[in-house]
Structure 1
Amino acid sequence: MKKYYKLLIPGLLLIGNLTLAQTTLKKFNPGKIWPDNNGVHINAHGGGILYNNGTYYWFGEHKVEGDAGNRAQVGVHCYSSKDLYNWKDEGIALSVSSDPTNDIAKGCILERPKVIYNKKTRKYVMWFHLELLGKGYSAARAGVAISDNVTGPYRFLKSYRPNPGKLPFYPAGTPESEKVNVANPANKSDGFFCRDMPGGQMARDMTVFVDNDGKAYHVFSSEENFTLDIAELTDDYTSHTGKFVRVYIGHQTEAPALFKRHGIYYMIGSGCTGWAPNAARWFTAKSIWGPWTYKGNPCKGNESEITYGGQSTHVLPVEGKKDAFIFIADKWVPKNAIDGRYLWLPIEFNGDDISINWRDSWSLNDFKK
């Protein structure tokens, strides 16, 4: 990793960052090099954060120097922190397999890993978007792995397309015109749904969310990204129950991030423009099952139309602070993915509405107590 980092930036800048790593950080600096305890830029892209027993754990895609593709050469990296500014390298939590026939074979596409803790089984459960080796983006599967320890190693269980043979759940009052007509699909998105129904729905960009009652949900782009599915997980968090809803049907949406405040569910996502940034979008609902309401772009000001150059991946509630949520996005660098930067910005509330504004530097003290 140190060799990779030296190739990434000039030597003098490296020295500056190593010095910074030896000093306790007290600010977030969105879009800048973010050194870990070894002075190496954090390598956890498209990731999510789990708070567990007083410590935050950041899981993300481990990228390789000079790799212009999106192939998983190593696996999922894990870091830990007590304060969210300073991160310790905990190593690789989930390793790809050297067996080319394995679902998570080296060279597969393994994206957006998220970890949740199951209090009943006392297992840590990792979900991720998986594309099989050599298949491009055609597999569109969800993958799951478990561990007894938060930092791993995680054991891969399976990958599949969720909810085969199942129709969506419809909240009370849903008009018949909004329900899928399997015999005669009404639009392109419904057509993709019906096409995939026997083998399960496509599952690409994703997140997971655990509600206050302990129920867990898998949120993912489906139907060639023309909808988002919110799907209930089983009690052990390792499979789907078959109950799910479709959100923002007919609009290509990816990069979902879901959180809850004052009994209202919020979801932030993005449009689909490849590696190029676009405007974020947000939704709200009073029930996880909807109906979900599209609310527009939460970002404000200069470059808000491209989410300040980034794309959503996670929203983090800050432990011990009221109404403190951090919008976490990745600024992708497709020509050299290891150089991807992280955009962490505070979410601001006006009643039940949210906004995200750019800040060159900020701290947790900016949140109200």
Structure 2
Amino acid sequence: MRRNRRLLSLLAAFSLVGTAIVAVTTLAAAPAQAAPVTIPNGTQFTDTNGNVLHAHGGGVLKVGDYYYWFGENRNANNTFRAVSVYRSTNLRDWEFRNNVLTQASASELQTANIERPKVVYNASTGRYVMWMHKENGSDYGEARAAVASSATVDGTYTYHGSFRPLGNMSRDITLYNDGGTAYMVSAGDENRDLLIYRLTADYLTVATLVGNFWNDGNREAPALFKRGSTYFMLTSGLTGWSPNQARYATASSISGPWTGMTNVADSTTFRSQSAFVLPIQGTSTTSYLYLGDRWAGAWGGPANDSQYVWLPIAFPSATTMSLTWYPTITIDAATGTVTGEASSSYRITNRNSGKVIDVLDRAVTDNAEVRQWSWNGGTNQKWEFRDAGSGYFRIVNQNSGKCLDVANASTANNANVVQYTCGGGTNQQWQWVATGDYYQLRARHSGKCLDVVSSGTADGTDITQYTCGTGTNQQWTRSQS
């Protein structure tokens, strides 16, 4: 009997130790508490492995402590490669998880365009359901909605096919889960109409048309969200890849009545198009984050070269919203606060000529020439200094959102200086080095200085890099513009 008691005591002790080990293991596996992070705007993002992040036209779903970001990952010819998903606790550091839908998922996806994937969770079926816009890969004549689902948020999704909901054309899509009842919004009738559908209980197809509230409104890129008792529908106009004026409508019920459309942001929505609005609910507040795409098609590039624009939405009243441009934003996912850093743009003036650094012809394309020109106040002559770490800056053109770049990362004298999509290259990182009352701009990769060729003083004189010296054609000042 005494031996049995001793055995029971030992078993109890081992049980406590095992429980402690499980508890420690569980704690170790939990994600770290999110801390405030700063995110640059108008750039490509990279994942935690340093690869360019492809979640274009996408949406975000929070599951537990993680935000999951789904989006388009395209081939060089803009056709469908995959729907990729990434996850993050702080909305800056994104871990690639999976290509949840690929060309191999179904025969009709082998030559297709898949755009604007959005995912919601169906609590009654325990499945994650994705809706997206599907085309045939060669034109935009199909105008179909497609559906897929999975038992896990970042697992392989089963493709359920594509169709025209209730016989209507369906292009740009978004989803909204309103307390268990799900809705799909899509552009129909050659993008002239914006239709709201209620989904069936399993979210796999359309149950009914709630309404066509903007007949012949010519709106696309819908993003539907609710704040308090007000629903907001944020949309874009129809200008192809080129950005345009965002507009929004409000209602106290998804079934309407909806207001007319009201302008928000500037005339190009800061050169972006709406993709999604993400509520960030924290311990202190709930903020609403505008997620937009700066499509590379606007400057002739492939979709996978597109950039992201994320901005906090302000609400002057319960039924109005506003967007302000910020070059960087700070997100505290734990408290739910999102703040923007006020834009500081500069004109950068050469000591020798008195002229400023200018992107020729206000171009927004990669490799556009950077020259000197007389100051005229244009946004192509205004530059933002963005911290790149270790005392270096990326110098970003306000007009194009592109970076001051030594072409092809050359280290040679007279290597051309252009603008190019911002990335991680040290040929886009510059040190602002004092030389008396003036400054040199030294390229990190080469150690050479930004130089006005042959000390020219005429408009249009080229700017290159050259071995640093004492010439005033390598000396600059900056002043807020």
Band the TM-score falls in, shorter-chain normalisation: 0.7 to 0.9
Structure 1 residue 55: deviation in Å?
0.7
Q: 1:307 to 1:232 in 2, by over 3 A?
A: same
Indicate which of 240, 251, 254 corresponds to 1:274: 240
- Bigger mean CA offset, 308-317 vs 30-39: 30-39
Structure 1 residue 111: deviation in Å?
0.2
3-state SS in 1 of match to 2:41: coil
Contact 1:349 1:355 (C-alpha < 8 Å) held by counterparts: yes
- Bigger mean CA offset, 26-35 vs 264-273: 26-35
Matched residues in 2 for 1:133 and 1:55: separation?
Answer: 33
RMSD between aligned residues: 1.6
Matched residues in 2 for 1:361 and 1:52: separation?
Answer: 26
1:220-255 per-position Cα deviation (integer Å, ceiling 9, x unaligned): 000111110010000111011123200211121100
Structure 1 residue 133: deviation in Å?
4.1
Q: Which runs of 5+ in 2 are unaligned?
A: 1-34, 340-481
Aligned residue runs from structure 1 range 219-368, under 5 A: 219-299=185-265, 304-320=266-282, 322-334=285-297, 335-352=301-318, 353-365=320-332, 367=338
Matched residues in 2 for 1:71 and 1:83: separation?
Answer: 31
Tell me which residue corresponds to 2:468: none
Structure 1 residue 60: deviation in Å?
0.3
Structure 1 residue 26: deviation in Å?
1.6
Tell me, yes or no, if structure 1 residue 202 matches structure 2 residue 205. no
Match for 1:229: what amino acid? L
Indicate which of 78, 96, 99 corresponds to 1:70: 78
1:33-85 per-position Cα deviation (integer Å, ceiling 9, x unaligned): 32210111211110000001111000000123xx2x4311x210000001111
Tell me which residue corresponds to 1:109: 113
Matched residues in 2 for 1:289 and 1:58: separation?
Answer: 28
Contact 1:127 1:145 (C-alpha < 8 Å) held by counterparts: yes
1:79-138 per-position Cα deviation (integer Å, ceiling 9, x unaligned): 000111110011201112387xx2322x3110000010000000000100001244x111
Tell me which residue corresponds to 2:474: none
Indicate which of 54, 58, 78 corresponds to 2:65: 54
3-state SS in 2 of match to 1:97: helix
1:195-243 per-position Cα deviation (integer Å, ceiling 9, x unaligned): xxxxx0001001000012x100000000111110010000111011123
Stretches of 4+ aligned residues off by more than 4 angstroms: none
Q: Percent identity?
A: 39
The structure where strand makes up a greater share of residues is 2
1:117-171 per-position Cα deviation (integer Å, ceiling 9, x unaligned): 000000000100001244x1111000000101100200100110002xxxxxxxx
Q: 1:41 to 1:126 in 2, by over 3 A?
A: same
Match for 2:260: what amino acid? Y
3-state SS in 1 of match to 2:168: coil
3-state SS in 2 of match to 1:103: helix
Aligned residue runs from structure 1 range 205-216, under 5 A: 205-212=172-179, 214-216=180-182
Tell me, yes or no, if structure 1 residue 97 matches structure 2 residue 104. yes
Query: What's the TM-score, normalizing by structure 2?
Result: 0.60
Alignment length (residue pairs): 296
Which structure would you say has the larger RCO, counting Cα contacts within 8 Å and 6 or more residues apart? 1
Tell me which residue corresponds to 2:469: none
Aligned residue runs from structure 1 range 19-58, under 5 A: 26-58=37-69
Query: What's the TM-score, normalizing by structure 1?
Result: 0.77
3-state SS in 2 of match to 1:216: strand
3-state SS in 2 of match to 1:306: coil
Contact 2:194 2:217 (C-alpha < 8 Å) held by counterparts: no
Tell me, yes or no, if structure 1 residue 217 matches structure 2 residue 183. yes
Indicate which of 164, 179, 190 corresponds to 1:161: 164
Contact 2:170 2:187 (C-alpha < 8 Å) held by counterparts: yes
Match for 1:146: what amino acid? S
Q: Which runs of 5+ in 1 are unaligned?
A: 1-23, 164-199
Matched residues in 2 for 1:131 and 1:234: separation?
Answer: 23
Match for 1:290: what amino acid? G
Contact 2:36 2:331 (C-alpha < 8 Å) held by counterparts: no
Structure 1 residue 297: deviation in Å?
1.4
Contact 1:94 1:152 (C-alpha < 8 Å) held by counterparts: no
Matched residues in 1 for 2:105 and 2:223: separation?
Answer: 32
Tell me, yes or no, if structure 1 residue 130 matches structure 2 residue 134. yes
Structure 1 residue 298: deviation in Å?
1.5
Match for 1:139: what amino acid? E
Structure 1 residue 336: deviation in Å?
2.3
Contact 1:25 1:85 (C-alpha < 8 Å) held by counterparts: no
